Amino acid sequence: MKILAYVNGSTKLGEGEVQKLTHINVAFARLRNSGAIDADHLDILAQFKDIRRWNPAIKLVASVVPQEPEAFTICAASPALRAAVGESCKRLITTYGFDGVDFDWEYPCVPSNGVDSTIADKRNFTLFCGEVRKAVDALGPGHLLSIAAGADLYYVESVELPELVKVLDHICLMTYDLKCGFHALAGHHTQLYSSTGDVFRNSCDQALRLFNQAGVPREQLLMGAAFYSRKWENIQDRNHGFLQISKTGGGYGPDYGILAKEYINKNGYVRYWDDEAKAPFLFNGSTFLSYDDEESLAHKCAYIKDQGYGGIFYWEHKCDPTGTLLSAIAKNLG
């Protein structure tokens, strides 16, 4: 059962937390239009020796984002550039000591987050991942290739999942930001199940079932957990703020470490529990905060074990300096 952390490349890790993990995805190496991948800026590279001493079985993976907005689209479209990316991935493994590569393309065919796209991305992404698989396999067995995927129908229809899973080890399904800046409706952003009355019927459960039905084996799917919150402000004091309309979408709220210190049942914020969604939230009369905590993570871990999924991952490690949430995952999933 995988317990995977996305860890910022400048984060300092300790022995206890490393021993609770099976995988670390280092955020981020950067893909250029030329097919080169930059990783020299990642301070965590200096910790690799200690990390492997503390946990010899751990897998250290370079998570790759575009340096230029069109980098993935350009590189995926060209046979020569796909080969260049494959060589760059081999360099990440042989030069820096990574065990594999994770592509965080947000998202093929989708012009979001300032990233360029084209409808040709759908086929080209399959070819792109296939070329990288061939390149890293040339180094010998055991090297990992994974992707981070958007947790809704748009992503399933933007890629060729049945073909991709043939070359991928697992998919990090981003079952967070299920409500975000696109949504004026205050609600859960990383709920296990949908709540009655919520017109947006997305949830961790729905997303995992969607990908499984689209051809991804359960053991290749990792559920995403959030170590940060989303917030909606200036909403009605009705139903504790849940499913109330905001004039703006759900912006980023405090990380869990700050929530625990200053917000949860403090400074006017009251914690509520939605037993249908298996999700907590905070409300102070005008601001609604959605997040994961020990209780919601226990339910997520039980679901993963009961349903036979591959494990859990979270974004992002530094958001909980207390170690509370990772300990909860390790306790319930280990």
User: What whole-number distance in Å separates Cα of residue 225 and Cα of residue 191?
Assistant: 9
Select which of 15, 17, 68, 106 is catalytic.
106
Q: In which residue are the tokens 């990390």 written?
A: 51
CA distance 273 to 54: 37
Q: Give the closest residue to 146 by CA, choosing from 205, 67, 200, 224.
A: 224
Which residues does residue 23 pair with via DSSP β-bridges, in sequence order? 4, 59
CA distances from 273 to 281, 293, 298 (A): 6, 11, 14
Continuous segment of H or E residues that includes residue 274:
strand 270-274
Q: What are phi and psi of 310, to 5 degrees?
A: -80, -15
Active site (annotated) includes residue 106:
yes
By C-alpha distance, which of 65, 70, 4, 8 is closest to 31?
65
SS3 assignment for 170-182: EEEEECCCCCCCC
Beta strand pairing call for 251-255 and 288-290: unpaired
Provide the annotated active-site residues: 106
